Structure 1
Amino acid sequence: MKINKTLWALLAGSLLTGCGSAESVLTEYATNRWNALIQGDLAQAYQYYTDAFKATTPLDVFKHKVHGTGLWNKAKVDKVQCEEPGKRCQVDVEVTVSMKMRGLSKPMETSDVVHETWVKDGWFSDWRYVKE
């Protein structure tokens, strides 16, 4: 059986992602999702959610529910801890917001840690963010 180049590239990419460490992949995915949220690219951020979430929350609804775009100004993954290696992990992300305060010339920044759950449904599945 002959496999075309596109199919081979997709298969190789899936295998490499599956073989990479969960911590490094999740750091990249969580960072990419937060960067998309910060930049207001909600369609890109939406791609990191689970299929179950996307089945019950269409993109248009998601866009109306997201609040914080314009306030968030940076996010940094602090820790990735896997409960079930290769299947379910917790990701801690330090998110910084900037707020203009009356009487102050510069916006005030404050940060807090957001605890996220990420899951992987199968060998060829990508990691997905679970909205809780």
Structure 2
Amino acid sequence: HSVDVDDESLYFEPEKENVVFASAQDGWAFGIRQFADTFAQKLNCNQSVLMKTLWGDFYYNPSTKKIMKGAHAKNKKPLFVQFVLESLWAVYNSVYDGDTEKAEKIATSLKVKVLPRVLK
């Protein structure tokens, strides 16, 4: 006898909200829902669409204002890089450059609380 086992729940996939990205050293963590919520409002698109496309081979085309498939084939940055990583890098760069005003502005636009000790 063979038994079919549903092992779907065993896999980690950010869009299933079973993955958290974190920095223990800097004291932050997030799932992709936080960024999907923020960018859905900014891009005037459906949050559930962003949840499915933030992690995968998709990119945002600013001229058409649409999420497109095939980031890798078209040599485009994936949505996760465009929206999540570049936002994080912008905050870190502004902190390292001593531009606390810029860091606070970026964090506020992302609805992220940055502790004052981090900005020093």
Greater strand fraction, Structure 1 or Structure 2: 1
Q: Higher helix fraction: Structure 1 or Structure 2? A: 2
Q: TM-score, normalised by structure 2?
A: 0.29
Relative contact order, higher structure (CA 8 A, sep 6+): 1
